[in-house]
Chain A
Amino acid sequence: MARENEDAGMAKDAPKTKKQRKNKTKETKTRTVHANTLYDFAKGEENPNRHYANNRIKTTKYTVLSFLPKNLFEQFHRLANVYFVFIALLNFVPVVNTFLPELALAPVLFILSVTAIKDIWEDYRRHRSDKEINHMDCLVYCRAEKGYVEKYWKEVRVGDFIRLRCNEILPADVLLMSSSDPDRLCHIETATLDGETNLKQRQVVRSFFDLDCDFDPLKYNSVIECEKPNNDLNRFRGYIIHQSGRRDALYKENLLLRGCTIRNTEEAVGIVIYAGHETKAMLNNNGPRYKRSKLERQMNVDVFWCVIILLVMCLFAALGHGLWMFQYGDKRPVFDVLSPEGTNLSPIMSAIYLFLTMIIVFQVLIPISLFVSIEIVKICQVYFIHQDTDLYDEETDSHLQCRALNITEDLGQMQYIFSDKTGTLTENKMVFRRCTVAGVEYSHDANAKRIAMYQEMDSEEEECMSHGGTLPRRDSVGSHQSARVVLRSHSTKSHRRTGSRAEAKRASILSKHTAFSSPMEKDITPDPQLLDKVNDCSSQLDFMRLHSQPVSQLPSDLSDIFDFFIALTVCNTVVVSSPNQPRQKVRMRFELKSPVKTIEDFIKRFTPSRLTSGSNNSSSSSLNRSSNKGGSSMLSSPSAESTLTKLNEEQSSGGLEHAFSPAPPSYDEKAFCTPEEGELRYEAESPDEAALVYAARAYKCSLVGRLPDQVTVELPHLGKLNFELLHTLGFDSTRKRMSVVVRHPLTDQITVYTKGADSVIMELIRPPNTGNSKGRRQKKILCRTQNYLNLYAADGLRTLCIAKKVLSKEEYARWLQHHLEAETAIQRREELLFESALRLETNLHLLGATGIEDRLQDGVPETIASLRKAGLQIWVLTGDKQETAVNIAYACKLLDPEEELLTLNADSKEACKLLLEESLHYIQAKFLCSSGDASAKDLHANVSSFEIYPPAPPSSHGASFSVHQLGLVIDGRTLAYALDTSLEDKFLAVARSCRSVLCCRSTPLQKSMVVKLVRNKLKVMTLAIGDGANDVSMIQVADVGVGISGQEGMQAVMASDFALPRFRYLQKLLLVHGHWCYSRLANMILYFFYKNAMFVALIFWYQFYCGFSGSAMIDQWYLIFFNLMFSSFPQLISGTLDRDVSAETLQQLPQLYTSGQNSEEYKPYMFWMNMIDAFYQSLVCFFIPYFTYTDSDVDLFTWGTPITAIALLTILLHLSIETKTWTWMNCLSITFSIALFFTVALCYNASCPTCYPPSNPYWTIQRLLQDPVFYLLCTITPVAALLPRYFYRACHSTLFPNPVQVGRQLDKLPADTRRNILSLSRVKMGSWLSPRPPSLPVGKPQNCVQKDQRSKLAHGDAESVQQGAARPPGPKSCTKNDPLLSEELQPASTKDPSDPSPCSWMTSTPVVAQMDRVQLNLPPSITSPCVAYVRSSEAPLSREQTPPCSHGSEQGAEPALYTVL
């Protein structure tokens, strides 16, 4: 769009005067930038750039003046604040007021000022960092000085010329005008922008390409038109208009972005295009994210209920007051005071006034401090999560980042996890494992051993870590004292080993700054056989070169090997840098020629010698035209042109020697002292590329230099070969491949090397002509390669195919012409380029394939296992191919070899629908009927081995959908159909009943769609975790997005709510911190509601005794500060520090996580239970003092003060009952609260005899403290008030202990006993802990029976536990359990066949466990899709079985299923 604008404006604009242009600027969507040098003497008025933002950044929100109004305005966006201010203002109305109006403002002001102070502090910090940034130096051209002068960043304006030196940070978005680099390149590192540490190349604007001398700003008089500032980092469009009227396009390659660092380039000059806040970096900088957590949503509902309760209470009181007034009729009693005007209020009017008064009195019911307290608690929680050493990764020196501050408790409520595979589950360290070339496999056994060694080292390290870390091992710790000793000895030992290794790793990473180059990735052990062949090949080539034989005589397999490695080396975008100066590019230039970059140059290079002389006149003319358009600067290097021509001619005359000629002595000095290959660094954009280049280097075929137009490769016998790089078609995810077009120095042929995903490449291979032997051989190679590819995939390797193609000059020219047209096209450019790439990448010749291993991250299988035990559904969404994904899934225990696999591959929507339906039937048939049998079987399995996990509790997923031992694999294409609105329900029905789901070959969009679907349809909490840019959309869609701050840039992290260094930290983050955060906050919120209701209800009861007049016996000060001061600290402390179960137990018993998933700590009924309890407690707290003082001479506040004290004590004791962990801080805070109340009361009551109307409580508390009745009241009332709760808690945890309570009891045990119990009774723990014990047959009728059984089971457990603890865990104690368990099972399994269950039509269902593979026969009309129920156990394939479902019964089952949906 912008381009069209440009074009429209272009024709008119150029000749017009500047004034008009200025007007134009305001109208159009483009920005015009003039050089400031032209306007230096003209005062600000004249400068056409003056409308643009300058480079001073101000991220602060406020100024000194604007702070108050602006901050208040922002705070009043929160409805609660408005409400409280409204109430405070209401108190200024004399008719309705209850409190001293100024006093009533206090809490609101307090809350507002706390928030304001927080805002000021944050703003001040921003201000300081702004100031620091604004006062950084940079060199700006000054016309007066005729040179560059140092200025502050904030003084840089749009249109300034700035000079940048190496390692300087860019102050603004700058258009590159000149670079000291001979290639007119400038390298930047964008780590601060997107975290990617690899270098990126930027090039000088084409018009200034061939300025030999330094760029002189004074001579610059062009005008730049470009887009308005936007936040797209990867887009920049515009053009530069020279005085001649010629215009050149500008691309993102010309733009240096603010915040990037100049590397590798001594000096660069550019003109500022966007400054300050209009830079792309700043526009991208959108602070922390705000999400509302599930708990908060639930809380808001209850706040709403509170409002309703409040209104009901007020209405009730108003009504009561009206009636009370009414009963006196005309006889006005003396205590009914007239209105200030002396008129009598009618009952109705006074009822209305009273309603408002009651709102003021009862305002505390809506907890004003709740919102602030929650925020404080969340900040503390984030702090603790941050501080956790277990979430700290030593290797990368990074720890967890919480980017979203207000959804910590959501972590404890997750139900579905959507994970990316590469980089998330795996390390994203691509290690070359094996390859196949020309149909011959090279297994690289030594390499495999090497990798295994790394793995071993890692696991060893882990083991040691677990001794020293927080996960003590079962056997090592005897008692606490000895534990310390053992721990120490282990840790020192382990650290001498691991510490140094980890240190070395970190050091290497820190010093190198080079991504994807850990020793594991770099040091590849070559396969000896292949190495021999390579040596053989190059020596033959060397021989041939010496003897001037044509290269084509090389045997085809050898040439394939040769080409294979050349392709590995050349077909990439890896930049080479040298080690001693990490950011210095290695230069290796053969000829001294003008630096040429674009495709036109290559055309030109061909044009004089071949193309013009050739037949293709039209193409050449068009090419010429395009190059003319490209600029006169191109043509201004005739000398280079002629040398090239000469060169070309020489080469074409067939002299191979030239190509082989070693580098002439004139080349850059640095290259001369290029150290041996081992020292070169490769900076790759993707880890695969790096892996392949390192692999090639292991075979002595190493990349030693890359320039825009040439690649230098060093070969063992041949020396340095110089490949002329004609064209690069970069990798993109739709094509899934990349290609380079080079001129082969040996054959002088134009060769296309293509590398890409096997599925894509295999389709593009030229079908072999089976007629001749060569074709047959080719076919065999193809066939074999495909086999090997499958093999690799089965090993979980990432596969890439390498292919090549030789083009004739004419073909190339024809293609090039089209391609150039596509490149210059204005509309549909992307499509045209895609088509053009397609044209090039056909009829390829297969060279070979590689298998790259992406190692699993440490602890991934364990993490997945325990997350799954925690009841989390884990779906893996990956872009990888199915086989690889499945194998990785097996490796990381996502799929279990024990379980069946449902694979869905369809290529039409109908097929997909059928597949889904079949799968549904299958699941139904298998699991619905035989569930009793299955559970019995499960239990047998459980008894026999401890490995089995209890099935994830289905509680939240609807009753009829239990999760089965079933895995679902679906590929991207099928997924696309399945996500269609008509099929998504069925897809979900299938997917939710599977234990694990694996989506392969899925696009980023599909990933986010899957997440969205699950989230919206199943109403579950979702977590998405990923590391790359392709996961961003998924991360954003999920309730909680987690980014892995891995090697693949920071985009995922930027989009995420939490950023983790490694996947395995997810376990602690969710199971421990999530659980804690959730239970803490949930309990705190409930407590808040209780507290306020209890306190307010006291006043409500009083209304019955004061004629509903809105009077309060609690002094206004106590009433107003009760929430803010007297009762706030303990709940903050327990909201921050309380932990129900220890971290260790939470990790060892992931089942405890389900309490958060099912919102067990805060269910809707709990709010009401708390309310009822609050009302009960307030009744007690009101009526005990009432009856004590009834018909006595007690006055209002002498009676109210004890009630306040009692209420405070009750509330604090209530908190003590709810507090699970007592640290000194809890005790301190409670003591402090009580002390604070009495101190304040004593001071307040002694301070002033006449102040504080109307309560004037002078000397009240002092008298009370002398009164024994006060103490008697304070003793009995809290006890009586809390008795029911205390009793309930005790009984509940004894009679119906929930898993968390069991966990707490386990916590109390000494560490070794606990571990014994956990290891011994894992199965039984599961049966205890999972809401529906798997041991119970489905048919059991009564609940009480279940309970009985469970307790019996628990009893049995206890016995075994006791035994297990008493003596070492031996088989005896296990066998003792057996009869008990099997006894229970017997009826279930025997009963099952005769069970007249509703699906008895399925009784013929085979025992699927014995079946290896079930092939569902689809109607013949659909041929391609197939459902394969694969059971990949080692059990021999016993029989093929068709599902026993008849069609009629299918139809019967279907509606039943969908009604459930």
Chain B
Amino acid sequence: MMASSYNAKEEDGHHSGSSSHGGPGAMKSKKPDNTAFKQQRLPAWQPILTAGTVLPAFFVIGLIFIPIGIGLFVTSNNIKEFEIDYTGVEVDSPCYNCAKNFSWNSTSSCLCSVNFTLDQPFESNVYMYYGLSNFYQNHRRYVKSRDDSQLNGVESNLRQPSKECEPYRTSEGLPIAPCGAIANSLFNDTLTLYYYPQNGTKLPVPLTKKGIAWWTDKHVKFRNPGGSANLSIAFQGTAKPVNWRNPVYQLDEDPENNGFINEDFIVWMRTAALPTFRKLYRIIQKKPNTTPTLSSGKYVLEITYNYPVLSFDGRKRMILSTISWMGGKNPFLGIAYITVGSICFFLGVVLLIIHHKYDTRSNSAEIPN
């Protein structure tokens, strides 16, 4: 009797305090706790997507996106970019002979030079890229064909490169350094730029090769093997990649830019995402005075033509570009923002019409509120 009256009391508590936690669960009965969670009564926001409720979202998105898009578009348009194709496919192009006769097996370089004129002066830093088309650096087997540990200077991997490097792992019994297909196909054209001012002299444009690779790549990911300063000793007992003319320790004279930490090499090793890509080649530093980095006028691009691309219908380009906060010239993002913003706005209007014509029920349902 006592027990039952006690229980009855307890239940009262349960009911009155329904929103609070379900009281002491010490009751012997199997009655489930009356908590919001267990009873699936958690406080909740229940948005209903109707024309009326989503209207503002569309307008807001439209109003935000269109200005952003305009901003991006303007920014992109302010970027100056110059591109020149020097592949030499056409008969009249200066590098036609080089392109035609050249293959990986050639021992001597072929030289050619391309003239061009810049109509507008380039302000601030100018970035010089080489561009390749139709080059599938993202091919699955190509991407894999490298040994990061070797490139990081790990001695054991220098001597015994990873199996991923096959079939560019060993050459005549010696381990290849750097091994793999990526390294093997290193871009080895040399580009130099000369300016012809009005007076007719030929001025070389100073090209900086430092700082073209990611800082982390240059200082963390890529490291020369061994502690010794002499790279030729460090790389002793390794073979150069098959396609290379020189071993890896002769990529550059500067010891800070030689071996695995050669920046051109590092840049090449960062495989491009798409078959048409550009890679940073040199930087033309902004001059301290007010003169433009590259003033308008005649230029000549001298090319040491080493890299055959005709076998895969590839194209080679040289690109000069300034950059903004959003990178190189690309009007797409701006256009995309403007388009999406406009579509949103338009749909917003459509919804407004729908809302006015059909969505009266939810409106009226809300009036008694």
A and B are partners in one complex rather than unrelated chains = yes
Give the residues in chain A near B91, CB-CB below 8 Å: none
Partner of A1294, one of B31, B43, B278, B359: B359
Q: In the complex, are the beta carbons of B181 and A335 less than 8 A apart?
A: yes
B125 contacts chain A at the CB level, 8 A cutoff = no
Q: In the complex, are the beta carbons of A491 and B136 less than 8 A apart?
A: no
Q: In the complex, are the beta carbons of B154 and A1196 less than 8 A apart?
A: no
CB-CB contacts of B260-279 with A at 8 A, as 1s and 0s?
A: 00000000001111111111
A1045 contacts chain B at the CB level, 8 A cutoff = no
Chain B positions 45-70 with a Cβ under 8 Å from a chain A Cβ: 45-54, 57-58, 61, 65, 68
Give the residues in chain B near A1289, CB-CB below 8 Å: 49, 54
Closest to B186 in A: A334
Q: In the complex, are the beta carbons of A1268 and B326 less than 8 A apart?
A: yes
Give the residues in chain B near A1280, CB-CB below 8 Å: 336, 340
Chain B positions 285-327 with a Cβ under 8 Å from a chain A Cβ: 311-312, 314, 325-327
Q: In the complex, are the beta carbons of A504 and B4 less than 8 A apart?
A: yes
Q: In the complex, are the beta carbons of A337 and B145 less than 8 A apart?
A: yes
**CB-CB under 8 A for A1223 and B43, given A338-B167, A1256-B221:** yes
Interface residues on A, range: 35 or more
B202 contacts chain A at the CB level, 8 A cutoff = no
A1291 to B148, CA, bound (A): 53
Q: In the complex, are the beta carbons of A1143 and B40 less than 8 A apart?
A: yes
Give the residues in chain B near A1366, CB-CB below 8 Å: 368
B198 contacts chain A at the CB level, 8 A cutoff = no
Give the residues in chain A near B44, CB-CB below 8 Å: 1221-1223
Give the residues in chain B near A1340, CB-CB below 8 Å: none
Chain A positions 1302-1322 with a Cβ under 8 Å from a chain B Cβ: 1304-1310, 1313, 1317
CB-CB contacts of A1065-1104 with B at 8 A, as 1s and 0s?
A: 0000000000010000000000000000000000000000
Partner of A1305, one of B48, B57, B311: B48
User: Shortest Cβ distance from A1276 into chain B, in angstroms?
Assistant: 6
Partner of B38, one of A387, A500, A1196, A1307: A387
**CB-CB under 8 A for A1106 and B8, given A1222-B45, A1222-B47:** no
Q: In the complex, are the beta carbons of B29 and A340 less than 8 A apart?
A: no
Partner of A1186, one of B43, B274, B327, B365: B274
Give the residues in chain B near A1139, CB-CB below 8 Å: 40
Chain A positions 1137-1188 with a Cβ under 8 Å from a chain B Cβ: 1137, 1139, 1143, 1184, 1186-1188
A341 to B360, CA, bound (A): 73
B107 contacts chain A at the CB level, 8 A cutoff = no
Partner of B163, one of A340, A342, A1305, A1309: A340
A1333 to B12, CA, bound (A): 45
Q: In the complex, are the beta carbons of A392 and B30 less than 8 A apart?
A: yes
CB-CB contacts of A822-857 with B at 8 A, as 1s and 0s?
A: 000000000000000000000000000000000000
Q: In the complex, are the beta carbons of B358 and A1351 less than 8 A apart?
A: yes
Give the residues in chain A near B365, CB-CB below 8 Å: 1305-1306, 1308-1309, 1313, 1317, 1358, 1361-1362
CB-CB contacts of A492-512 with B at 8 A, as 1s and 0s?
A: 100110011001101100000
Closest to B180 in A: A337
A341 to B168, CA, bound (A): 10
A1198 to B138, CA, bound (A): 13
A1225 to B221, CA, bound (A): 41
**CB-CB under 8 A for A1283 and B332, given A334-B243, A1192-B278:** no
Give the residues in chain B near A1191, CB-CB below 8 Å: 131, 274, 276-278
Give the residues in chain A near B52, CB-CB below 8 Å: 1294
Chain B positions 245-272 with a Cβ under 8 Å from a chain A Cβ: 270-272
**CB-CB under 8 A for A1111 and B139, given A495-B15, A507-B4:** yes
Q: In the complex, are the beta carbons of A1290 and B139 less than 8 A apart?
A: no
Give the residues in chain B near A1287, CB-CB below 8 Å: 54, 58, 347, 351
Q: In the complex, are the beta carbons of B16 and A1137 less than 8 A apart?
A: no
Give the residues in chain B near A1263, CB-CB below 8 Å: 214
A331 to B134, CA, bound (A): 14
Q: In the complex, are the beta carbons of A1279 and B50 less than 8 A apart?
A: no
Partner of A1259, one of B12, B137, B148, B214: B214
Closest to A1287 in B: B347
B108 contacts chain A at the CB level, 8 A cutoff = no
User: Shortest Cβ distance from A1282 into chain B, in angstroms?
Assistant: 11
User: Shortest Cβ distance from B296 into chain A, in angstroms?
Assistant: 24
Give the residues in chain B near A503, CB-CB below 8 Å: 4-5, 7-8
Q: In the complex, are the beta carbons of A1276 and B337 less than 8 A apart?
A: yes
A828 to B238, CA, bound (A): 96
**CB-CB under 8 A for A1110 and B336, given A1137-B42, A1249-B221, A1354-B361:** no
**CB-CB under 8 A for A389 and B39, given A1250-B148, A1254-B146, A1310-B369:** yes
A770 contacts chain B at the CB level, 8 A cutoff = no
Q: In the complex, are the beta carbons of B360 and A1276 less than 8 A apart?
A: no
Q: In the complex, are the beta carbons of A1199 and B273 less than 8 A apart?
A: yes
A333 contacts chain B at the CB level, 8 A cutoff = yes
**CB-CB under 8 A for A1105 and B332, given A1217-B49, A1307-B46, A1362-B367:** no
CB-CB contacts of A632-656 with B at 8 A, as 1s and 0s?
A: 0000000000000000000000000
B90 contacts chain A at the CB level, 8 A cutoff = no
**CB-CB under 8 A for A500 and B5, given A334-B184, A1187-B336:** yes
Give the residues in chain B near A496, CB-CB below 8 Å: 8, 12
Q: In the complex, are the beta carbons of A335 and B142 less than 8 A apart?
A: yes
Q: In the complex, are the beta carbons of B32 and A1196 less than 8 A apart?
A: no
Give the residues in chain B near A1313, CB-CB below 8 Å: 365, 368-369
A399 contacts chain B at the CB level, 8 A cutoff = yes
User: Shortest Cβ distance from A1162 into chain B, in angstroms?
Assistant: 19
A701 to B275, CA, bound (A): 102
Partner of A1109, one of B11, B49, B141: B141
Chain B positions 320-369 with a Cβ under 8 Å from a chain A Cβ: 325-328, 330, 332-333, 336-337, 340, 343-344, 347, 351, 354-355, 358-362, 364-369
Most buried by B among A1139, A1286, A1291: A1291
CB-CB contacts of B141-173 with A at 8 A, as 1s and 0s?
A: 111111111011010000000111011100000
Give the residues in chain B near A1106, CB-CB below 8 Å: 136, 138-140, 275
Give the residues in chain B near A1143, CB-CB below 8 Å: 40
Give the residues in chain A near B364, CB-CB below 8 Å: 1358-1359, 1361-1362
User: Shortest Cβ distance from A339 into chain B, in angstroms?
Assistant: 7
Partner of A392, one of B32, B145, B151: B32
A357 contacts chain B at the CB level, 8 A cutoff = yes
B185 contacts chain A at the CB level, 8 A cutoff = yes
A1313 to B167, CA, bound (A): 77
Partner of B16, one of A334, A386, A491, A1111: A491
A1338 contacts chain B at the CB level, 8 A cutoff = no
Q: In the complex, are the beta carbons of A1225 and B145 less than 8 A apart?
A: no
Give the residues in chain A near B142, CB-CB below 8 Å: 335-337, 1109
Chain A positions 1239-1286 with a Cβ under 8 Å from a chain B Cβ: 1249-1251, 1253-1254, 1256, 1258-1259, 1263, 1267-1269, 1272-1273, 1276, 1279-1280, 1283, 1286
A930 to B261, CA, bound (A): 91
A158 contacts chain B at the CB level, 8 A cutoff = no
Q: In the complex, are the beta carbons of A398 and B30 less than 8 A apart?
A: yes
Closest to A1105 in B: B274
Q: In the complex, are the beta carbons of A1283 and B42 less than 8 A apart?
A: no
Give the residues in chain A near B85, CB-CB below 8 Å: none
**CB-CB under 8 A for A500 and B333, given A334-B243, A398-B30:** no
A332 to B167, CA, bound (A): 14
A388 contacts chain B at the CB level, 8 A cutoff = yes
Partner of B139, one of A337, A506, A1200, A1272: A337
Q: In the complex, are the beta carbons of B152 and A1250 less than 8 A apart?
A: yes
Closest to A1191 in B: B276
User: Shortest Cβ distance from A1045 into chain B, in angstroms?
Assistant: 12
Give the residues in chain B near A336, CB-CB below 8 Å: 136, 139, 141-142
Q: In the complex, are the beta carbons of A1295 and B46 less than 8 A apart?
A: no
CB-CB contacts of A601-617 with B at 8 A, as 1s and 0s?
A: 00000000000000000
What 7 A-B pairs have minimum CB-CB distances, sorted nearest first? A333-B312, A499-B8, A340-B166, A1199-B273, A1365-B368, A503-B4, A334-B185
